Amino acid sequence: MTLRTYSRTDLIDPLPGQHFIDGKWRNSADGRTFETIDPSTEAVLAIVARGDAIDIDAAVRAAHRALRGDWGGLSPADRGRLLFRLAELLESEAERFALLETLDVGKPVKEALGDIRGVCATLRYNAGAADKMEGATIPLGRDFVDFTMLEPVGVTGHIVPWNYPLGMVARSVAPALAAGCTVVIKPAEQSPLTALAFAELCQRAGLPDGVVNVVAGFGEDAGAALVSHPLVRGITFTGSVETGRKIYAGAAQGLKPVVLELGGKNPMVVFEDADLERAAFDALDGAFGNSGQVCSSSSRFLLHRSIREEFLDRLAAGAARLTVGRGLDNCDLGPLVSKEQHAKVRSYIDEGRATGAAVRLGGGRPKGLETGYFVEPTIFDGVDPASRLSREEIFGPVAVALSFDTAADALAMANGLGFGLVAGVYSRDISRALAFARDVEAGSVWINGWFIGGVQAPTGGIKESGVGRERGLPGIRNYFNIKNIGIRL
């Protein structure tokens, strides 16, 4: 892979470490800052403004003015053209954004480039849909005309996670803009840099001041203030179940709609007639892509007893070939995002060993990487189904294997947790696979593949995995109110 050479001056210095509010860079109201860390080296990348309720208020009021100003007067087609322009600008600077993401999050450059291309696709999909969201006529009889109009909900708040910093911004911000909303983004404190750079790019693309605002900071300061602000009329959040519950409760005080994706412990169910080569290949990316820091990772393998050993042999052989290193070195896996996440994942590995689970592969720090938040790809076998290792989301390159004998056993195991984000089933018997897909409790079910779908396919969870759907046309409808108008003739 040949990349243009970017220096720190190219990547970091153009970002002043301030919030982006109403088209301008601004310090925090109280002058506070925090450090963002390169997880590959543990060195400080940048000093960033730490926002609080005062900064959030300034951003929300700027978004509210923009909603009532030039942005609100644009036609849907004009909004779409601006989003297309934004995608073109981002595509022209894809390498810069990818390298910035790599430094801030640690993921390999090739993975970050793929993420940026996905953001461009997300912007274009929603740009194309902006002038195609239609109301309906209601048949009340000859003496009436009744119809619905779609109106933007207003100012929306977007609290995004650190695993795909810009991708998660685009997943909710692009449809909100397509619908005519204005936005305030609160990026994760571990990874604020690409969100800040994106806001400035939106201005360069021609979006009016105040349409896209970014306030960096922590959940207890900036996030809570965004959820509770009376001018914010919709909230989108991706993150932990615990934080999601707090946001849900906070939004309920203002009767605001929410979209929550709260993670999962996703089962990959492999039957005895499955294509094991295909399943093991998919499991590598599903379990270890982005160092396992993926809500929809295949973190729980449910294996028919008759093929368990062959599947695990194939998976372990593939995982043993994965390279681990600094994001800029473009290995297969980078580090975990932070010291705290590294400690959390290590604690699960230690607990797995202490409770008697067998380490099929990995379990330690890669050799030669004494600095940085690195963990080897790790596979546990012989795991107690009741253990924390089997039941809780680890969010690292750690997968667990359990066995089943019948389809009923597999279904009970798959549905036995509070999560319900995604599930996968591998079988050459499509009737059995479809029956399993019908009965498994998950927002998305993938048959003979993993990470199936794209920006067009709705995604989201049930049970503790969340509320609502993102992507596709349902993702845009999150940001509309339906107004009914009736006329007596």
What φ, ψ does residue 19 adopt, rounded to 5°?
A: -70, 160
Instruction: List b or e across 372-411, with b for residues whose CB sees 16 or more CB atoms inside 10 angstroms.
Output: bbbbbbbbbbebeeebebbbbbbbbbbbbbbbbeebeebb
Cβ pair 266, 298 in contact under 8 A: yes
CA 145 to chain centre: 42
348 within 8 A of 336, measured Cβ to Cβ: no
Cβ–Cβ < 8 Å for 332, 324:
yes
Token pair 């203002």 is at which residue? 254
Q: Give dist(CA 297, CA 313) in Å, integer.
A: 20
Among 223, 238, 216, 66, smallest CA distance to 155 is for 66
Query: Reading across the β-sheet that carries 137-138, which strands appear in turn?
Result: 137-138, 144-152, 480-488
Taking the C-alpha atoms of residue 280 and residue 290, their distance in angstroms, rounded to an integer, is 17
Identify the sign of the CA torsion 254, 258, 263, 264.
Answer: positive
Alpha helix positions (H), 377-417:
388-391, 407-414
The residues, ordered by sequence, that sit 6+ positions from 179 with a Cβ below 8 Å of its Cβ are 130, 133, 150, 152, 153, 476, 479, 480
CA 324 to CA 334: how far, in whole Å?
6
**Which is it for strands 258-261 and 466-467: parallel, antiparallel or unpaired?**
antiparallel
Using CA atoms, how far apart are residues 402 and 408, in angstroms rounded to an integer? 14
Contacts of 420 (CB under 8 A, 6+ apart): 264, 441, 442, 443, 461, 462, 463, 464, 465
Residue in 170, 194, 175, 208 with CA at minimum distance from that of residue 72: 208
Burial degree of 354 (CB within 10 A; 0-12, 13-18, 19+): exposed
DSSP strands (E only) in 104-262: 137-138, 144-152, 155-159, 182-186, 212-214, 232-238, 258-261
d(CA 472, CA 457): 5
Q: Cα separation of 308 and 381, whole Å?
A: 10
Catalytic positions are: 261, 295
* Alpha carbon of residue 121 to chain centroid: 15
